Amino acid sequence: MSHCQQAYDLLAAQLTDRGVDVEAVKAKLKAQHIETPSWGYADSGTRFKTFKQAGAAITIEEKLADAAMVHKVTGVCPTVAVHVLWDFKGDNISDVCAYADSLGVKIGAINPTLFQEDCYLGGSITNVDPKVRRHVVQHMLDSIEIGKQAGSDLLSLWFADGTNYPGQGDFRARKHWATECLQEVYAALPPGMRMLVEYKLFEPGFYHTDIADWGMAYVLCQHCGPQAEVLVDLGHHARGVNIEHIVSFLLDEGRLGGFHFNDARYADDDLTTGSVNPYQVFLIYCELVKAGELARNVAYMIDQSHGEKPKLEAMIQTVMSIQTAYAKALCVDYQRLAEAQASGNIVDAENTLIRAFNTDVEPLLCQVRVEMGLDPDPLAAYRASGYQARIEAERGIRESGGGLG
């Protein structure tokens, strides 16, 4: 018997003693679906410079190939989010979809690119110029059509709308314009497609951001309809904000559409998930596990900027971190937690969570991967594949295209 098998058997026995259905946990881990972003494989950087890496993807075909490699070693990343103006050139949608299929992945969330044209200096859906707003709405409508052709059921929206100076814009007028634009786009959604509205505390506007928090996004969704939901980006909050509380609230309201997973120390740093605060990711997953059916349609997407780490290794590391958080959340004794809460036993309630968080779930995840026909260590499998050396040799260092600069 291997050391990994022995470690798993011991952990499985311990979890069973806690009342955890180990087979059910494994089934949920095998069914986990984490979407990676096309732009996460391209060159990225800071406001000062885009730092290039050898082998970074430029074309959508290269991005899909990299995403397919991540899926190959992790087994849980079957879809790839795309940014329309970065990833589609003319009428190549069917070709892109066919190429994705050939690699064993599919197109996921459709992200209209709403911030990289000169006309957006004054905003997009909150621009004072109705011609610009019309242009923006048309781009989103075109993106819906792309989603239909690609078989995607998610339209993911983030707006870089805001102002830099007091008096620059009228808050209520801008709110009304945003509502009108989103309502028109919402009306064009086909059945089964959801519109996810993302928010951000600040940036690029230094005075105000038009959709600055989850409450504003929630109200805009209410003005649209049930297919409009809030997208929570873990980095888009003030420091210390209780994100798991927001998640629970939105779940209860039926308005949690999905996540952009990352981590941050100060602001929207887009660091690898769990690198700064893994306990927070665990607590978020606890709320999702407790919600049960309320969380069945939540989309789990990564949105990170890998400027220093090797891009595919960073993506694999993030996927493994998310898997770990989910596994630990599945190991919580929720009956014991509820009993402690009902009796007002704060210490036992907190310790119930801490016990699960401190559990070494690596043997469980290794067993799940083996049963899925995967290497128990995805990162080691990637490093042994020779893929990184091959793309560095084939692609080299080139001018960037379709990333975050």
Distance CA 211, CA 218 (A): 10
Q: At what angle do helices 311-330 and 362-371 cross, to 10 degrees?
A: 110
Q: What would the DSSP string read from start to end of 58-123?
A: -SHHHHHHHHHHHHHHHS---EEEEEHHHH--SS-HHHHHHHHHHHT-EEEEEE---SSSGGGGG-
The pLDDT of residue 401 is above 60: no
- On whether the CB atoms of residues 147 and 154 are closer than 8 A, the answer is yes
**pLDDT for the residue 30:** 98
> Is 401 a member of any domain?
no
Distance CA 153, CA 2 (A): 43
The pLDDT of residue 402 is above 70: no
- On whether the CB atoms of residues 81 and 46 are closer than 8 A, the answer is no
Q: Within a 10 A sphere around the Cβ of 24, how many other Cβ atoms?
A: 10
Q: What would the DSSP string read from start to end of 262-305?
A: -B-SSSS--BPTTSS-HHHHHHHHHHHHHHGGGGTT-EEEE---
> Which CATH number belongs to the domain containing residue 267 in this structure?
3.20.20.150
> Is 12 a member of any domain?
no
Q: What would the DSSP string read from start to end of 132-151?
A: HHHHHHHHHHHHHHHHHHHT
Distance CA 317, CA 323 (A): 10
- Contacts for 322 with CB less than 8 Å, ≥ 6 apart: 32, 34, 261, 273, 274, 281, 300, 302
**pLDDT for the residue 93:** 94
State percent of the chain over pLDDT 70. Answer: 98
The pLDDT of residue 2 is above 90: no
Pairing status of strand 208-209 against strand 256-261: unpaired
Instruction: Tell me the pLDDT tens digit for each residue of 218-257.
Output: 999 999 999 999 999 999 999 999 999 999 999 999 999 9
Distance CA 217, CA 281 (A): 22
Instruction: Tell me the pLDDT tens digit for each residue of 208-219.
Output: 999 999 999 999
Instruction: Tell me the pLDDT tens digit for each residue of 322-376.
Output: 999 999 999 999 999 999 999 999 999 999 999 999 999 999 999 999 999 999 9
Q: How many domains does the chain have?
A: 1
**pLDDT for the residue 404:** 54
> Is 268 a member of any domain?
yes
> Is 196 a member of any domain?
yes
Instruction: Tell me the pLDDT tens digit for each residue of 100-112.
Output: 999 999 999 999 9
Instruction: Tell me the pLDDT tens digit for each residue of 290-299.
Output: 999 999 999 9
> Is 2 a member of any domain?
no
> Which domain, by its residues, includes 58?
25-331
Q: Within a 10 A sphere around the Cβ of 116, how many other Cβ atoms?
A: 11
Q: What is the mean pLDDT of residues 281-309?
A: 96
Q: Mean pLDDT for the chain?
A: 95
**pLDDT for the residue 405:** 42
The pLDDT of residue 51 is above 90: no
> Is 109 a member of any domain?
yes
Backbone angles phi, psi at 83, to 5 degrees: -110, 125
> Is 382 a member of any domain?
no
Continuous segment of H or E residues that includes residue 16: helix 3-17
